[in-house]
Structure 1
């Protein structure tokens, strides 16, 4: 097997009617597709996609129960945390500096962690893309 790329990152959520507005309106992501009959929604996160799915027979995952997370690049981590706090978003980890980036962690309505991230060098996305 030879993996070619990451096609999407997926979170299991308990309810798309709660999760979609959080990701679309609170986090400002662009909703690309929503398939209610499959319990599935996709958001544009170039160069990939963030997918949300409700648990079902083909994917019995538990919302908020995984150890994976997605990191969203933001211009100002502290400002992003302040804005999300005003929306009553749970802050799991306050902003901190690592020496190469600033990070904070917030939670979606199911408790899935979302990393807010700003590199000190101002770059974002994949740093060393393959040719």
Structure 2
């Protein structure tokens, strides 16, 4: 198998009519497709797409318990977190400096985690970010 790119990332939701406005109006994402009949929406989140699928027999995943999440780049993590908190959004983690990036984590209406990421830092000398998101030694270097 030769994986070329991430085509889209999806979150399972229980109430499509609540989740679409949250992602569109609260987070400000632009919908590319909203299919109310089939409970599927796609939002432009370059360089990929974020899709929402309503929980159903065809989408048998439990929202908020899947262990997945989405990280979205923002200009200012504190400002974004404060604005979302003012709108009543649940804050799962206040802004921190992780040593790799500045981030906070919020929850969508189903409890799915969404990270706000800002000012991603360069890796320490001689290290690269592996596909597993851990720092590892660069290939070919001691």
TM (norm. structure 1) is 0.89
SS, match of residue 24 in structure 1: helix
Displaced runs of 4 or more, over 6 A: none
Task: State how 1:1-131 maps to structure 2 within 5 Å.
Answer: 1-120=1-120
Offset at 1:59?
1.6
State the distance in 2 between where 1:58 and 1:51 align.
15
The CA distance in 2 between the partners of 1:120 and 1:21, in whole Å, is 28
Report the 3-state secondary structure (helix = DSSP H, G, I; strand = E; otherwise coil) of the residue aligned with 1:38.
Answer: coil
Q: Unmatched 5+ residue regions in structure 2?
A: 122-128, 130-142
- Counterparts of 1:57 and 1:100 in 2: how far apart (Å)? 39
Displacement of 1:100 in angstroms is 3.1
CA RMSD of aligned residues (A): 1.6
| Higher RCO by CA contacts (8 Å cutoff, separation 6 or greater) | 1
State the shift of 1:99 in Å.
2.4
| 1:120 Cα deviation after fit | 4.7
Per-residue CA shift, 1:25-55, capped at 9, x if unaligned? 1101001101112110000001110000011
In 2: Cα distance, 1:118 partner to 1:61 partner? 30
> TM-score of the superposition, structure 2-length normalised?
0.82
Q: Distance in 1 between matches of 2:3 and 2:83?
A: 38
